[in-house]
Amino acid sequence: MTEYSNRPERPRLEPEIIPPARGGRESEWQYEVWPPYMSSTGGTHRLYVARLGPLGLALLMALIGIVVAVLVLAVVGAILIWIPILALLFAAGVIFRFWRR
């Protein structure tokens, strides 16, 4: 049993190799792409990415800071809105409790 454990397992199925379309015909799978992602020119496209300089990095950090500040203000605002509502509910409960006696 130990002599078989070192041998790699053979694949159960051979991979299917599908050749590209011939004779200028395009295969059916190329038409299943959504229209916004289809290329009218075909082929490959290049994407150029530039390195961030000190000014670009500072602007990016400022933008991230502004987004975080807006989110924190939204959360704090939501909490501050609920404080008077909960206080009114508590006061109503106390008044109702004394009123029932």
Q: What are 72's two structure tokens?
A: 């924190």
Mean pLDDT of the chain: 79
Q: Which residue has the higher pLDDT, 66 or 21?
A: 66
Report the Cα 88 to chain-centroid distance in Å: 40
Question: Any idea what the Cα angle at residue 88 is, between residues 86 and 91, rounded to 5°?
Answer: 110
Lowest mean pLDDT among 23-27, 33-37, 41-45, 71-75: 23-27
Q: Which residue has the higher pLDDT, 59 or 13?
A: 59
Q: How far apart are CA 17 and CA 14, in angstroms?
A: 9
What's residue 100's pLDDT?
Answer: 82
Q: How far apart are CA 72 and CA 66, in angstroms?
A: 10
pLDDT at residue 74 above 80?
Answer: yes
Q: Which residue has the higher pLDDT, 73 or 5?
A: 73
Q: Which of 47, 50, 66 is nearest to 58 (CA)?
A: 66
Residue recorded with tokens 């000014």: 55
